[in-house]
């Protein structure tokens, strides 16, 4: 990874270690010396997300992802992980592989997925705070004409101060350019996918609202509204099966908020992150 960044930026970055792995990428921690093109970028730690070669050898994927990454650079909110730069480095090691990467804000904290794995559920007041912050982050994304497409606990980072930051948007849209038989991946995580996304329809901000509603349900119930033996069976339930009532002692207003998020017809949900945050 050091050689990839050096070939693109000179010796601006010092790569430290891998801090995350996912189905589509590996994330490295690196120190940014602060030179930059303008000489005004402050020295800071950054996260460098490197996409897997089986994705980046597809020219259409690269074009889509480049557009999404450049759009992400225009989103500025304390509730969205900042995207600083995007780069492509072809054939740096003689293998013919094109390395595509994003330089992002490094968030010291843990994902909501890690918290739920440990705590299982969270108190209602904490759940509402997390959902409001995440919805505010989505508002910043939606205001730029973008849709996240992969809202899930693993893509919501929580800092030590309790600040929620939405991360990892753009890959899901770009991955739709690559045949699933080649990547073995579902575009959007089936357990949180909206009905319209599960059916392959065009999606708007209300799709993210639905996915965040699934996250809210899981925070309060300790499990997702739908389960199944395969991703297809779960996706089918999102399309046609009403979500069961959240078990336990949850207030009526919060139940209604989650119910509105989880409506099958996107026209009857909250219109976007801003409307959900204000609810």
| Annotated binding residue 52 | no
| 8 Å CB contact between 136 and 79 | yes
CA dist 62 and 182 (Å) reads 15
Which tokens hold the place of 49?
């997300």
CB-side neighbour CA atoms (13 Å) of 34: 5
Residue 169 structure tokens: 């948007």
Number of alpha carbons in the 13 Å side-chain half-sphere of residue 13: 23
Residue 7 φ/ψ region, left for φ over 0, alpha for ψ in the -120 to 50 degree band, beta for the rest: alpha
Can 150 be counted among the known catalytic residues? yes
Q: CB 155: neighbour CB atoms within 10 A?
A: 25
Q: Catalytic residue among 150, 168, 208, 272, which?
A: 150
Q: How far apart are alpha carbons 94 and 81 in whole angstroms?
A: 33
- Round to whole Å and give the CA distance between 52 and 101: 9
Annotation: binding site for ATP: 49
Which residues contribute to the annotated binding site? 49
- Which residues are the active-site residues? 150
């Amino acid at each position: 990874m050091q050689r990839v960044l050096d070939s693109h930026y000179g010796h601006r970055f010092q790569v430290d270690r891998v801090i995350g792995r996912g189905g589509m990428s590996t994330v490295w921690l690196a120190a940014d010396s602060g030179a930059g093109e303008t000489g005004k970028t402050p020295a800071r730690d950054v996260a460098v997300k490197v996409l897997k070669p089986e994705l980046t050898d597809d020219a259409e994927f690269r074009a889509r992802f480049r557009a999404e990454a450049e759009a992400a650079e225009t989103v500025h909110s304390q509730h969205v992980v900042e995207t600083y730069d995007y780069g492509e480095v072809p054939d740096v090691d003689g293998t013919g592989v094109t390395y595509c990467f994003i330089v992002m804000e490094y968030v010291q904290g843990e994902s909501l997925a890690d918290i739920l794995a440990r705590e299982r559920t969270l108190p209602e007041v904490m759940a509402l705070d997390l959902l409001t912050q995440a919805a505010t982050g989505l508002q910043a994304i939606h205001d730029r004409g973008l849709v996240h497409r992969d809202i899930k606990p693993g893509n919501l980072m929580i800092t030590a101060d309790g600040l929620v930051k939405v991360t990892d948007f753009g890959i899901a849209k770009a991955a739709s350019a690559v045949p699933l038989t080649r990547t073995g991946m579902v575009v959007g995580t089936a357990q949180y996918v909206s009905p319209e996304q599960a059916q392959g329809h065009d999606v708007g901000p209300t799709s993210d609202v639905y996915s965040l509603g699934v996250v809210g349900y899981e925070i309060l119930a300790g499990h997702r509204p739908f389960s199944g033996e395969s991703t297809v069976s779960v996706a089918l339930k999102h399309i046609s099966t009403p979500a069961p009532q959240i078990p336990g002692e949850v207030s009526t207003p919060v139940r209604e908020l989650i119910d509105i998020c989880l409506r099958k017809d996107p026209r009857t949900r909250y219109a976007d992150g801003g409307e959900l945050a204000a609810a």
